[in-house]
Amino acid sequence: TQLLEQSPQFLSIQEGENLTVYCNSSSVFSSLQWYRQEPGEGPVLLVTVVTGGEVKKLKRLTFQFGDARKDSSLHITAAQPGDTGLYLCAGEKAGGTSYGKLTFGQGTILTVHP
Amino acid sequence: GAGVSQSPSNKVTEKGKDVELRCDPISGHTALYWYRQSLGQGLEFLIYFQGNSAPDKSGLPSDRFSAERTGGSVSTLTIQRTQQEDSAVYLCASSPQGLAYNEQFFGPGTRLTVL
């Protein structure tokens, strides 16, 4: 059973469209991160959210942490081909005994066509 | 400054052979992580080193997998008697303090192929 469920697994859209990626769990997380990964490289951190209900914006990207800290979403406005990549959510389970240990979702492969 | 480096970038081996994968973390980072990633998938946690504390080995899939970190810096992940299902990209990451909300800085990975 996947602790963090990401959806959709694949997303293929045209330039200029909007999209949302979801990261859901039945567990509570003390913090949640979103990473973006390009082929042949390691993931790069986009944002960290730590407070229930928190919303963070990074240019055309909007990140939201659910009120109960069990879910998160990433919304991209007016997607561009440069947004293409693998998007990963990762969280530290609340009440865990191994601080710093992250659990990753299975990822969303986004392709934005010009 | 230099980021996390990993070597080799690619490794092809035969089933049953042992392999060693190396990670050089960012200087001064006390936390070091190893993950495994199958093609286009999420990351599977393997092992976590934090300073001088005992490592969290809870993600190692079998006793064929082991890792060490010498002098609080360089780490080596060893896979003994490799199997075809071990084929994946092995990613290393380091972090300044090992807190979950700290950014983990990833290396480019080692792509392991077991024939």
How do the domains of chain B map onto residue ranges? 5-114
Question: What average pLDDT does this structure show over B95-114?
Answer: 86
**What pLDDT, on the 0 to 100 scale, is given for residue B71?**
82
* pLDDT, tens only, A5-47: 999 999 999 999 999 999 999 999 988 999 999 988 999 999 9
Question: What average pLDDT does this structure show over B37-43?
Answer: 83
Test B31 with A100 for CB contact under 8 angstroms: yes
For residues A74-104, one letter each, b for 16 or more C-beta atoms within 10 angstroms of the residue's C-beta and e for the rest, the string is bbbeebeeebbbbbbbbbbbeeeebbbbbbb
The CATH architecture annotation of domain A5-113 reads Sandwich (2.60)
**Interchain CB contact of A105 with B (< 8 Å):** yes
CA distance A77 to B93: 30
**Interchain CB contact of B51 with A (< 8 Å):** no
User: pLDDT band at B39, cuts 50/70/90?
Assistant: confident
Asked if pLDDT for residue A61 goes beyond 90, the answer is yes
Of B35, B91, B99, the CB nearest to A100: B99
Of A41, A91, A104, the CB nearest to B43: A104
Asked if pLDDT for residue B17 goes beyond 90, the answer is yes
Question: Which chain A residue has the Cα nearest residue B89?
Answer: A40
Asked if pLDDT for residue A99 goes beyond 70, the answer is no
Domain spanning B5-114: which CATH class is it, in words?
mainly beta
Within 8 A of A92 by CB-CB distance, chain B residues are 100-101
Asked if pLDDT for residue A98 goes beyond 60, the answer is no
Test B108 with A106 for CB contact under 8 angstroms: no
**Interchain CB contact of B41 with A (< 8 Å):** yes
Please give the full DSSP string across B54-70, using - where no structure is assigned: PPB-TT--STTEEEEES
Question: Which chain A residue has the Cα nearest residue B111?
Answer: A40
Residue B96: cis peptide before it, omega within 30 degrees of 0:
no
Asked if pLDDT for residue B40 goes beyond 80, the answer is no
Percent of chain A with pLDDT over 70: 95
Test A90 with B43 for CB contact under 8 angstroms: yes
Of B42, B95, B97, the CB nearest to A104: B42
